[in-house]
Every structure is written in structure tokens, then in C-alpha cells.
Amino acid sequence: MSFRALWIEKDDQPYRCSVRDLDADQLPAGDVEVHVGHSTLNYKDALAITGRSPVVRRFPLIPGIDLAGVVGRSESDRFKPGDRVLLNGFGVGETHSGGLAQRARLRSDWLIGLPAAFDTRQAMAIGTAGYTAMLCVLALERHGLGAASGEVLVTGAAGGVGSIAIALLARQGWRVIASTGRPAEADYLLELGAAEIIDRSELSSPGKPLARERWMAAIDTVGSHTLANVCAATRYGGVVAACGLAQGMDFPATVAPFILRGITLAGIDSVMAPISLREAAWSRLARDLDPGVIERVTSDIGLEQAIGAASELLAGHVRGRIVVDVNK
């Protein structure tokens, strides 16, 4: 039976992405087949769809690093037909065809069960962005920090990771400072739980090795000079969870914040995180994320709209999360 999918090709023609009807034999190997309900559009997916960055490393390929759906066929002891499942990362949408399709064939050890608290749309409204935000929160907690420790900064605040991070932290009682380059989103960020908003220009230019101590913790989605300045202004013994590179992959910093203030820079990887950590993060999301937040941060599109939405996302015109109903 054929199914609809986004299909990226690169051969003797220019890089291109289109909506195609595919057959099951065009799917890669895997011991579980999933009838996809919803996927989502992440920054990495937008790069893959547009070809703006070499995210895709095998052609042809279906993009989409996230999916949620129901098992249709299984050769695995872990899952049976009818089970609701969820996938984030593991190179899917990069080297293995992913979730922006009505069908997916995957390795069972990449999947986790979909928490009962969520349907497939809600899970994709959270997606890798929300799962990454929770990994950052867990990292702060592992280093002994909580709402009583002081203030927390979230950079790239109006994006997917930032939006959900603010909601999670505010619900825990943190006083959240939101950094954004989109002042028009101030009301949105305050509604999510931010107590203070600063312009990203305060952090995005080259700064001093040490700055005035301001926050005890931070979740940074930006990298480059922003991350260096975030570290420089972190209070003694504080923790910065770094999970993104929207400004750049470079880190033009000094060791001063680390050896003079004893701060910790915690790297957050959502792509290859072990299943146990994924399950812990999604369990906490099911417990801690206000369902109303999911609706406030989410917009919905169909599969054919994803190509245009990718360019809008890269241009910084998208707030929060985009859910893709692959069956529309």
C-alpha cells in the first residue's frame, strides 16, 4: 500500500524536497513498522527540508527527527501491533528515513512507549524540543539546583525548547529570565511564566571573561558569544545547560567562570541519549507539563505545508512548536 511522505533527493539534479506517494519497499530496514499519527517541524528538520545545512547524509530520505504513532507490524519482543510509540532522534531524519510520512520502518531499540497522558498530537507538540528542555531541567537537578537556588535564564526563549523550558521552570517555582530577539513576543513569554525579559543583544556580542553575577542557572539554545556571556554572568557554583547552536557552534570564552566561580557547563544531547534517560524525561513531562501550555505554544499544519513552514522557521518567524498531521 502506498503512503504520502516528504521525500528528499539529491542526484544529478539540485537538492530538492517534495511530497510523494511512496511504496513500502522504499522504506529502510527495521523490525517495527509504525503508522504515524503526527510528526513535527524542528530546526534540524527545517535545515534538512531546505538543504540549508548538510543535515541529511543519505539520499533519498524522508526527513523528520520526531514521530508518534501506532505499531502496525513488529518483529520485536518490545512492541506489538497496536502499541502507541514515540521516537526522538537516533539519526532518524538524517541517515534513516523519519517521521514526516504516514509510515515509518524503524529499529525497536529507538522507540519508547507513548505516555498515557499524551495523544500523538500532544506528544509532537512537545517533540524533541520539549524533551530537550526536560533533559536540561534534569541536568540542573542532578547538579543540586532547584527553584530556591536563585534565578534561571533561558535563551532563545520564544523558540520550541525555550518556550517549554520556561513553562517547566516556572511551574517548579523558578524565577525565569527570558532572553529573546523578538520583543513582540513579550506577552507570550510572560504568559508562559517568564518573570523578566531581556533583549538578546545584551548577550550576543563579544563580552568580558567575567561579568556581574546575575543568574544561578541557565538553559542556552544559542551557543557562540551568547553562551560565553551566559557563563560569564553565572553566579558562583551555578550550572549552564547547553543544548543549541542557533548563533553558532563556536564558544569564544575563557576558563575564568569555571576556575574562579566554579560553574558547570552541562552539555545536553537529545539525539543519542539512552532509553532510560528518555523514559525518565517523558515521564516527567507527563507529570510536570501543564496541558494548557501545549496548546498555547502549538500551531498545526498538514504534510504539504511543511516545506513552506521550514523556510518560515529558519527565518525566525515561528513561535513555539509546529505539529504536522501527516494524514492531512
- Digit-coded pLDDT (tens) for 14-70: 899 999 999 999 999 999 999 999 999 999 999 999 999 899 999 999 999 999 999
- Is 318's pLDDT higher than 90? no
Which pLDDT tens digit goes with each residue over 132-187?
Answer: 999 999 999 999 999 999 999 999 999 999 999 999 999 999 999 999 999 999 99
* CATH 3.90.180.10 domain extents, the chain: 3-114+297-325
pTM of the predicted structure, to 2 decimals: 0.94
11 — pLDDT class (breaks 50, 70, 90): confident
* CATH 3.40.50.720 domain extents, the chain: 129-267
- Is 208's pLDDT higher than 80? yes
- Is 12's pLDDT higher than 80? no
220 — pLDDT class (breaks 50, 70, 90): very high
d(CA 313, CA 135): 23
Q: Which CATH architecture has domain 129-267?
A: 3-Layer(aba) Sandwich (3.40)
Mean residue pLDDT of the chain comes to 96
Fold of 3-114+297-325: Quinone Oxidoreductase; Chain A, domain 1 (3.90.180)
- Is 93's pLDDT higher than 80? yes
